[in-house]
Amino acid sequence: MRFSTVDVSFHSDPQMKKKTSNFFKKLADFFTTGIGLLVLGFVLTTVCGAIINGMYTSSSWKRDKQFELLKSELAKHDELLSDLTKMLGTRVYRLQRVVWATDPDTPPGPETWPLTEEAKTKLNTLWNEYYQTVVEWNVSYRTYTIKLRALVGDDVADKFFVGDTSGARISKSGTLSRYFEQSHESVAALKKAALTSQVDRTKHDEAQREVDDLYNRVDDFVAQLYRAVTEKEHSDNPLKPADRPPIEKITYLDAYKRPIR
C-alpha cells in the first residue's frame, strides 16, 4: 500500500497565520484584565521566586564551602607553624645544652681544660638527645620546605632551605638550614675535642657564638614566617595558592642521600 506525502507548512498558510495572530491578540487582551494581571503576577512571582531561591541556595552553598575550605587552610597554617617552630626550637636548644656541657667549672677558666669522666658521660648523653632531633630534621626538612612553598610562597621557603648548586650535599649559604649545619659542625668539633683531649677556649667560645647567632637566625625566620602567614590570612583571597614558578620534582630519596648533620 502506498501513501502520498502531503507537505504541510504552517508558516506559508495564511489561515494558520491568522489563527496564530488572533490567539496572541486574545492572550494579550486577557492579560490586560484584572484576572489576567493576577494570573500573570502569580506566574512571574512563582518563576522569579524559584530563580532567586535557586541563586540564593547556590550562593549559600558556595559561601559555606569557602568557609570550610578557609578553616581547613587556617588549620594547615597553625599546624605548620606549630610543628616547624617546635622542631627549630628543640634542635637549637639541645645543641646549646651540648655546649653548656663543655663549660669550665669556674668561668672564665683557663685556655684549655679537661672534662671529668662524669662530665664526658653527660656530654655523650646530651649529644645523643640532640642527635635525635638531627635525624628528625633530615627526615622532615624537605617536607617543610614544600609546605612553606605551597602555603606562603618561595620567598619564605627559600630562606628556610635551598640546596647548594656546587654539587656538595649542603644547604645554600644564607639559608636557615645552612646556619644549622655550620653550628652543628662547630659544636661537633668541640664535642670531639672534649672527649678525646681537652676543651680549647677559642673553639668553645666560637661554638657558643655560632649557637647564639643561630638563636637570632631562628627568631628572625619565625617572625618572617608568622608575618607571611598573617598577610595571607588577611588577603582578599586567602584560599589562592601562593604565586610561584614550577619547581623541580623532589623525592624523599634525595633527603636520605645527604649526610646527617
**Can you give the pLDDT at residue 28?**
62
What average pLDDT does the segment 123-135 reach? 97
**Can you give the pLDDT at residue 74?**
61
Task: Give the separation between CA 164 and CA 170, rounded to whole angstroms.
Answer: 6
Residue 241 has pLDDT above 80, yes or no: no
Q: Is residue 221 within 8 Å of residue 144, measured between CB atoms?
A: no
For 165, residues 6+ apart whose C-beta sits below 8 A from its C-beta are 172
What is the pTM (predicted TM-score) of this model? 0.67
Q: Which three cell numbers stand for residue 44?
A: 512571574
**Can you give the pLDDT at residue 66?**
56
What average pLDDT does the segment 95-116 reach? 92
Crossing angle between the packed helical segments 34-100 and 201-233, to the nearest 10 degrees: 180
669522666: which residue's cell? Answer: 117
Residue 244 has pLDDT above 80, yes or no: no
Task: Give the separation between CA 260 and CA 177, rounded to whole angstroms.
Answer: 12
Task: Give the separation between CA 225 and CA 12, rounded to whole angstroms.
Answer: 77
Residue 96 has pLDDT above 70, yes or no: yes
Centroid of chain to Cα 257: 25
Tell me which of 69 and 229 has the higher pLDDT.
229
Residue 10 has pLDDT above 70, yes or no: no
For 111, residues 6+ apart whose C-beta sits below 8 A from its C-beta are 200, 201, 202
- With cut-offs at 50, 70 and 90, classify the pLDDT of residue 234: confident
Kindly report whether the peptide bond that precedes residue 110 is cis, defined as omega within 30 degrees of 0. Answer: no
Q: pLDDT digits over 149-158, tens only?
A: 988 889 999 9
Crossing angle between the packed helical segments 176-196 and 201-233, to the nearest 10 degrees: 150
**Can you give the pLDDT at residue 107?**
78
**Can you give the pLDDT at residue 91?**
97
Centroid of chain to Cα 10: 67
**Can you give the pLDDT at residue 165?**
78
- With cut-offs at 50, 70 and 90, classify the pLDDT of residue 42: low
Domain boundaries, the chain: 77-257
- With cut-offs at 50, 70 and 90, classify the pLDDT of residue 257: very low
**Helices in 31-175 by DSSP H: which ranges?**
34-100, 117-151, 154-160
**How does the average pLDDT of the chain come out, rounded?**
79
Residue 232 has pLDDT above 90, yes or no: no
**Can you give the pLDDT at residue 260?**
44
Residue 98 has pLDDT above 80, yes or no: yes
Residue 261 has pLDDT above 70, yes or no: no
Crossing angle between the packed helical segments 117-151 and 201-233, to the nearest 10 degrees: 30
Which of 60-68's residues contact partners 24+ apart within 8 Å by CB, and which partners? 66/239
What average pLDDT does the segment 140-167 reach? 89
**Can you give the pLDDT at residue 252?**
36
**Can you give the pLDDT at residue 247?**
42
**Can you give the pLDDT at residue 229?**
82
What average pLDDT does the segment 75-101 reach? 91
**Closest to 210 in 3D by CA, of 90, 95, 85:** 95
Tell me which of 14 and 238 has the higher pLDDT.
14
What average pLDDT does the segment 31-47 reach? 67
